[in-house]
Structures are given as structure tokens and as C-alpha cells.
């Protein structure tokens, strides 16, 4: 009996110990939770303070908008202004304006954490060594801030060396840098090198390759797979690799998707061109496919509906579609209109004669030649180019109009 009572006391004691252990364990977890919450809240508060400090600095010192500053603060923060101040002072010493600095920081906020002497100065000196003037460099780098983030040895120098091997002249390399700084970010080994090698394999003249690289570097740096597709398409269309128009066509196809090209072909079809005519026009002047639908429509409307030209004539001279309607096409036809009304020229002038001649040749042939007969002719031409009403009033005084011109015009 005594043993039974002892056993029950032991069980009761163990039970109380267990309950005490559970209580202690729960208390420990509760205390730990409160501690974690307090730590989290403290850490969160610190982060908010850092965000607030960074946002304030970006807005007040860098001219970044509050919205952009908040977005930037999510990617990087700093607790003091020592490093950012050194970066800003460095840029100011190198001639960067407040606007240019703001542009750089807005595009690449982590740039503020760079080491000016180790990271920024070598790149500044590199571009200066190429011949970029101190006054031009801030504009070039602020237009493409990511150049600051590229490796000098692995990216910028190899890119320059390859461009120099293709363009031969340092001045042309600088032209690429000035017109398209982004070209210096592209991968030379994987893209541009094999692209150029392909063109050389096809027999494309060096002058044409140089033209493509210097005037359309982004297209020259296109991924090799896409570049090969464009070359194959151009070859199938019958373009001659020995002519510069071959690379013209390549860069056009690289700039537009196939659906967009089909859309342009359909637009020209609505103006009376068959698919073969449109492709033929593309071979004569590939740029005609890059023109906006609005530009094509306005120019075709003027030439076909107002001037009475056959759509087929324009397909034979597609370059005229690229000319400015207000600055070139209409002013020149204003002059021809007056000359026709005065019977000073025949009505069998070709479209190319009127529009493709350079400015000095057109003036000599159709304006200066008739100064004695029509003293105000040059003013009419100039007014029309300037967009004033003087030219239109002078034309009306000559007793002519676009409708009269269409009536007397004979399209061969």
C-alpha cells in the first residue's frame, strides 16, 4: 500500500514537472516571438529611415523626381553621403551639368556608389584618348549612362578595337560613339564579328560594310541568328551583295517585323501597287518600307490625287516618297505649276527631274533661269518652303491652282 502511494506521488510530481516544462517552453517561445517582432520592427524602422534618407538625397542633390527616387531606393540605399558626394563632385569637375547628372543617376542610381578614381576616371580617360572632346563627353555618357557600368578591359576596349578594324579611321569610330553610344555595350565576339564575317563571305564590298557599321551600328550588332535571317531574306529577294543597297535592305528588315512589312505591302497595294511592284520599289529604295503609314498616305495622295501622277510612276521612283512633302515636294511643284501656266516649260517633265535633283540644280534649272520672266518666282518657292501663305497667294495671282495643274499635266 505504501508502495502504491509512493508511486502515485512520483507520477503526480512528474506531471507537475512536465506542466512546468511546457509552461517554461511556451514562455520561452512567447518571449522569443516578442523579441523577434521587436527586432523586425526595429530593423524595418531602420530600413525605412535608410529609404527616406536615400530618397531625400536623390531628390534634393541629384534632381531626381520623388517617384523615380522611391523606385531607386528599393534597389540601393546608403547611410551617409560621402561616396555619392564624391561621385557628384567628380562629374561636376568633368563638365557634367546638373541636368546631365540627374539623367545619369535616374537611369543608373547605383552609379552613385562607384569609386570615382578606380571606376569612373579610367573610362573618362579612355574616351578622351579616342579624341572625344571634354565638351562632348558629358553629353555622350549622359545619353547612355550604362557605359559607366561596362568593363573597360572586357567590353569597351575590345569593342573599340573591332570597330577600328572595320572602319579603319578613328574619326568613323567616334561617329559611331557619338550617334549610337549603345553600340559600345554590344557583344562583339558573339554578334558583330560573325555578322561582318558573313557579309565578307558573300563578297559585300568593304565600303558597304563600313557604311552599315558607321550608320546603323545597332543593326550591325544584331544577334547573329537574326542577322543571318535578314541576309537570307534579302538574298532571296534578288539583291546584289556587290551593291550598297544590299546592306540598306538588311538594316531595313532588321528594323521591322514581318507583320509590319506585310502591313506596308498591303498599304501600297491599296494605292495600286501589286506585290511585285512593291517589292521592286523596295529593291530600288529599301527605305520606302520604313516610312510611316501617315507619311506614305499623304505623299501618295498629293502626287496621285492632286498632281495626277500614275501610281506606277511612283513605284518606279520610290525615293520621292522619302522627301519632305512640305519642304521639298509641294514647293517644287508650286514652281512647276507657275511655269506651266506661263508655258515656260513642257508638261512632259518626269517625276525624277522635278524631285530628285539637288537643291542647287533645281534652282538653276527652274528658278534662276526664269527670273526675268517671273521676278517673284524665287519668293514663291521660298515662301512655300517656309510654310507661309505668301507663296500660295502669289500662285493664285498667277491664275493657277493645283486643279489647273492636274488638268494640263500629261503623265507619260
Q: Tell me: the pLDDT tens digits for 110-167?
A: 888 888 898 889 989 998 998 888 888 898 888 888 888 888 888 889 888 999 999 9
User: What span, in angstroms and rounded, lies between the C-alpha atoms of 87 and 115?
Assistant: 7
Instruction: Map grid coordinates 551583295 to a residue.
Output: 241
pTM of the model: 0.71
User: Interior CA angle at 242 toward 239 and 248, to 5°?
Assistant: 55
Nearest alpha carbon to residue 70 among 86, 51, 84: 51
CA R_g for the chain: 36
Task: Encode pLDDT of 178-236 as tens digits.
Answer: 888 777 877 788 888 999 999 999 999 999 999 999 999 889 989 999 999 999 999 99
Q: How many CB atoms lie within 10 A of CB 384?
A: 23
13-27, 47-61, 184-198, range with the lowest pLDDT: 13-27
**Closest by CA position to 336, among listed 346, 321, 323:** 346
Per-residue cell: 154: 572586357
* In the chain, domain spans: 325-408
- Give the span between the Cα atoms of 373 and 40, in whole angstroms: 91
> Is the sign of the CA dihedral 222, 226, 232, 236 positive or negative?
negative
Amino acid at each position: 500500500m505504501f508502495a502504491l502511494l509512493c508511486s502515485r506521488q512520483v507520477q503526480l510530481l512528474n506531471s507537475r514537472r512536465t506542466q512546468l516544462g511546457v509552461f517554461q517552453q511556451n514562455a520561452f517561445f512567447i518571449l522569443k516571438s516578442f523579441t523577434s517582432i521587436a527586432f523586425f520592427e526595429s530593423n524595418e524602422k531602420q530600413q525605412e529611415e535608410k529609404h527616406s534618407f536615400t530618397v531625400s538625397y536623390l531628390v534634393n542633390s541629384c534632381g531626381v523626381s520623388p517617384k523615380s527616387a522611391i523606385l531607386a531606393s528599393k534597389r540601393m540605399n546608403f547611410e551617409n553621403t560621402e561616396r555619392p558626394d564624391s561621385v557628384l563632385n567628380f562629374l561636376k569637375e568633368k563638365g557634367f551639368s546638373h541636368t546631365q547628372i540627374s539623367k545619369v543617376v535616374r537611369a543608373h542610381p547605383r552609379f552613385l556608389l562607384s569609386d570615382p578614381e578606380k571606376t569612373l576616371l579610367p573610362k573618362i580617360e579612355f574616351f578622351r584618348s579616342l579624341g572625344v572632346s571634354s565638351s562632348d563627353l558629358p553629353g555622350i555618357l549622359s545619353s547612355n549612362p550604362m557605359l559607366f557600368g561596362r568593363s573597360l578591359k572586357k567590353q569597351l576596349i575590345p569593342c573599340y578595337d573591332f570597330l577600328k578594324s572595320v572602319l579603319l579611321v578613328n574619326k568613323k569610330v567616334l561617329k559611331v560613339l557619338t550617334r549610337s553610344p549603345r553600340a559600345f555595350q554590344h557583344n562583339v565576339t558573339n554578334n558583330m564579328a560573325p555578322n561582318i564575317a558573313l557579309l565578307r563571305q558573300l563578297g559585300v564590298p568593304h565600303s558597304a560594310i563600313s557604311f552599315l557599321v558607321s550608320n546603323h551600328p545597332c543593326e550591325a550588332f544584331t544577334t547573329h541568328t537574326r542577322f543571318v535571317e535578314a541576309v537570307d531574306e534579302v538574298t532571296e529577294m534578288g539583291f546584289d551583295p556587290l551593291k550598297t543597297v544590299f546592306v540598306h535592305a538588311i538594316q531595313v528588315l532588321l528594323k521591322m517585323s514581318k507583320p509590319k512589312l506585310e502591313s506596308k505591302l498591303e498599304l501600297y497595294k491599296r494605292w495600286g501597287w501589286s506585290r511585285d511592284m512593291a517589292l521592286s520599289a523596295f529593291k530600288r529604295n529599301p527605305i520606302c518600307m520604313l516610312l510611316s503609314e501617315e507619311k506614305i498616305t499623304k505623299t501618295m495622295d498629293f502626287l496621285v490625287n492632286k498632281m495626277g501622277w500614275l501610281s506606277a510612276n511612283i513605284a518606279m521612283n520610290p525615293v520621292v516618297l522619302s522627301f519632305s512633302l512640305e519642304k521639298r515636294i509641294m514647293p517644287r511643284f508650286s514652281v512647276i505649276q507657275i511655269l506651266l501656266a506661263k508655258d515656260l516649260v513642257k508638261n512632259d517633265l518626269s517625276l525624277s527631274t522635278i524631285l530628285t535633283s539637288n537643291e542647287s540644280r533645281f534652282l538653276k534649272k527652274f528658278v534662276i533661269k526664269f527670273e526675268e520672266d517671273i521676278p517673284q518666282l524665287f519668293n514663291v518657292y521660298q515662301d512655300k518652303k517656309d510654310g507661309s501663305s505668301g507663296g500660295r497667294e502669289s500662285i493664285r495671282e498667277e491664275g493657277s491652282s493645283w486643279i489647273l495643274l492636274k488638268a494640263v499635266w500629261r503623265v507619260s
